A = this chain, B = another copy of it.
């Protein structure tokens, strides 16, 4: 393996100083055209490309956008529509601005290590996906915020903590779904929600309550079930929900809705016939079920790309950054 060329060799061949090579390549300062050509030719000759690490080192910037992915036991992470779409959006926005994506899989032992990522300066900014509302996480984020490190939460927000946030309007989304069911004439609507450790679960509950409230329907806690956003939990919740004599079910995501429908079918209750079901996320899978699943569409891709865009712009512009807290709207896809 022949050694990789450095600026030094290029400079020698072009008969200029290293600084000039640097200036030509970074297009800084006035350079005589003839010199520029000589340098470029020499660079080409050695197939020279600046060492990214050395550049990062000299510039004090990594050029990386960190993405923290949550640890979800037993789930192959990317498999979930949610993260997949979001990452695609983040990746596109980062690429556009010349940043690379550094993935950080958070596991249990490095749980409250958000700061470390910055201390070690491997990333210039950081997007955190799937944060939960636990004491440790909140504290870690508070420290991050106090240190004015540039980060953004997607899909999670804390009342106590004012920081960059990008989310979908789940209150609205949930409201739309339940209102739709009510409009269809359903009254006893069960809500199969996910863990309240996620603010978006709580938001969905608010939307559910809001829609019911508008119709003067009291909250019946027997109709409220908590799963964990897995298909299995939807499957398992089905028998209980059926016992409650509901005529419709609103699930916090499509996976649970699909699990619910599976159990329904096994029990010989035709899904969609005597019971209306609405899911959430409008994932690919919602189109494939039989019957297709009506679902709340969430702009995951846009959330990712917008979060990355805003975050990167805020660090590239050196002025005092304002905190952004944006909510993208959702809509119901009726099938």
Report which A residues bind B (CB closer than 8 A): 1-2, 4, 47-54, 56-57, 62, 64, 69, 76-79, 81, 83-85, 87-89, 91-92, 95, 100-105, 107, 116, 119-122, 147-149, 258, 284-285, 288-290, 301
Count of this chain's copies in the oligomeric assembly? 2
A154 to chain B, nearest CB (A): 14
The reply to whether A52 and B100 form a contact with Cβ atoms under 8 Å apart is no
A53 interface neighbour in B53, B76, B284, Cβ under 8 Å: B53
Instruction: Provide the residues of chain B in CB contact with A121, threshold 8 Å.
Output: 4, 51-53
B51 & A120 in contact (Cβ 8 Å cutoff): yes
Partner of A95 from B54, B89, B105 at Cβ < 8 Å: B105
Asked whether B104 lies within 8 Å of A100 as measured between CB atoms, the reply is: yes
Nearest B residue to A54 via CB reads: B57
A85 to B83 CA separation, bound complex (whole angstroms):
12
* Interface contact B100-A102, CB-CB below 8 Å: yes
Residues of B near A95 (CB, < 8 A) are 105, 107
In contact, A88 and B78 (Cβ under 8 angstroms): yes
Which of A77, A119, A284 has the largest count of B CB atoms less than 10 A from its CB? Answer: A284
Residues of B within 8 A of A64 (CB): 102
